[in-house]
Structure 1
Amino acid sequence: MKSLQPRHGLARVLSKLGICSRTQAQVLVRAGRVRVNGRIVRDPEASTDGVHDRIAVDDEEVSAREKIYLALNKPRGYVTTASDERARETVYDLLSTAKTAADMTWLAPVGRLDKASEGLLLFTNDSVWAARLTDPASHLDKTYHVQIDALADADLLARLREGVVDAGERLALKSVRELRRGEKHSWLEIVLDEGKNRQIRRVLAACDVGVLRLVRIAIGPLVLGELGKGQVRPLTASELEDLGGMLP
């Protein structure tokens, strides 16, 4: 007798198997390109057992893909999306030129960095692991080095530590300190344990401070290190273990 397994919508099952994104899976299903147990299914929400049901895409049976976990040093100017309606360069352009298994399966970014931001960005086809990393309940620290267009005096640092209200939303930094300064600019180290949209830029803008550069250098214990701009590398087993130990 089969053991009971959770059933999910067909598009979600294809995504969890690492075949493609859920949106792409919906397109495949509606086009009649997916069979379940030999029968064409056109409903992306059709209840499916990803363990026991036989699933085929374009008549080729699929199974769970090898789990892939990658780190990218995102340069400024790339958008974190699979395709862009304005034909801008995307992070997937960098993955496609990397000598990794990334071109063999669908990978999703874990969180985001906006076009003007740089630094550590993770990719995986393990949707469960990605959801745990991005779950607000994890309170996983993310560390940034930020160059601002002002000198960070004691008053500014105090205002940043106090937090701000922007568009009715309370925004706070876990910690902030000055790293170094020039004649007109300072570099700050800012740590977040939450991930609200453009949080650092919004906090600084509320204090009348502009951002010249914003680089994410660490996610939890995982550091950017010596990874060059635009370069990709797989995470090591010990890095995955260290990250997993910090998750709920």
Structure 2
Amino acid sequence: MCSRTQAAQWIRDGRVSVDGRIVRDPEFPTIAGRHRIAVDGRSIDAAPERRVIVLNKPRGLLTTASDEKGRDTVYRCFDGAGLPWLAPVGRLDKASEGLLLFTNDPAWAARITDPATGPDKRYHVQIDAVPDDALIAALNAGIEHEGEMLRAKSAALLRSGERTAWLDIVLDEGKNRQIRRMLAAQHIDVLRLVRVAIGAIALGDLGKGAWRELRADEIAALSP
């Protein structure tokens, strides 16, 4: 129905009752199927069916529900679709593009984004240099940046031109701006960064700003 943060605020505001009694403690224990929970007097009979959406995020949009500066967010792509509440599963920064998941199941999302249980993520990255073997080896071995060790699960050259090149980089963890920071430590700028796959789910021919709902078998393939 909503994010955990929003749910906690609803509870503190007195909008949620358990067996007819208002409860203002977000940590109050309940048992599914035994306790009757209501929001604004309307009973919640059962958890909604899990839904998972995949979006081809365009460059320039923020991965957030709202922005205090009024900048465009990824939710612009869902305008008029009539979708239920959905939260992004992980993030892509404003300058990045490509595959982004959304779901109404926060517990499932937490397992997907956990490095220990979640699937690998594949990126195609255009850089402002032609890499040599040493750079590829460094990305695979690990690069220290600002006291933190950053490592790709795998990195390889896709194709190169006279001044730029595309890399194929796979991550099994999701540290903040990890690829950009790894390359910046090698004095290389990222020109484009596109996430092309999460586990078995590939971006394919999904158009910029377009989205689709994942099938049950696709959700199962992602689930740890």
TM-score (norm 2): 0.93
- The residue matched to 2:48 in structure 1 has which SS? coil
Aligned to 1:87: 70
Query: What is the rounded CA distance, in whole Å, between the counterparts of 1:76 and 1:150 in structure 2?
Result: 21
Conservation of the 8 A alpha-carbon contact between 1:159 and 1:207: no
Q: Does 1:40 align with 2:5?
A: no
- Gaps (5+ residues) in structure 2? none
- Aligned pairs, number: 223
Aligned to 1:231: 210
Moved more, 182-191 or 86-95: 86-95
Q: Deviation per CA, 1:115-143: give whole Å up to 9, x if none.
A: 11101011111223212211221262110
- The residue matched to 1:240 in structure 2 has which SS? helix
From 79, 86, 101, give the equivalent of 1:122: 101
Query: What is the rounded CA distance, in whole Å, between the counterparts of 2:209 and 2:90 in structure 1?
Result: 17
Q: Does 1:195 align with 2:178?
A: no
Conservation of the 8 A alpha-carbon contact between 2:119 and 2:222: no
From 196, 218, 222, give the equivalent of 1:217: 196
**CA displacement at 1:57 relative to structure 2:** 0.9
Q: How does 1:126-205 map to 2 (within 5 A)?
A: 126-138=105-117, 140-205=119-184
Aligned to 2:52: 69
RMSD (Å), alpha carbons: 1.5
Query: What is the rounded CA distance, in whole Å, between the counterparts of 1:129 and 1:40 in structure 2?
Result: 28
Query: What is the rounded CA distance, in whole Å, between the counterparts of 1:211 and 1:79 in structure 2?
Result: 18
Aligned to 1:16: none
Aligned to 1:14: none
Q: Percent identity?
A: 60
Q: 1:108 to 1:139 in 2, by over 3 A?
A: closer
Q: Deviation per CA, 1:127-177: give whole Å up to 9, x if none.
A: 232122112212621100000011122232233223211121111111111
**CA displacement at 1:30 relative to structure 2:** 1.8
Conservation of the 8 A alpha-carbon contact between 2:124 and 2:195: yes
- The residue matched to 2:71 in structure 1 has which SS? coil
Q: Does 1:111 align with 2:90?
A: yes
Q: Does 1:52 align with 2:34?
A: yes
Runs of 4+ in 1 over 4 A off after TM superposition: none
Query: What is the rounded CA distance, in whole Å, between the counterparts of 2:9 and 2:15 in structure 1?
Result: 9
- One-letter code aligned to 1:59: G
Aligned to 1:28: 10
Q: Deviation per CA, 1:67-120: give whole Å up to 9, x if none.
A: 1111011111111111111211111222234x3x52x3x212111111111010
TM-score (norm 1): 0.85
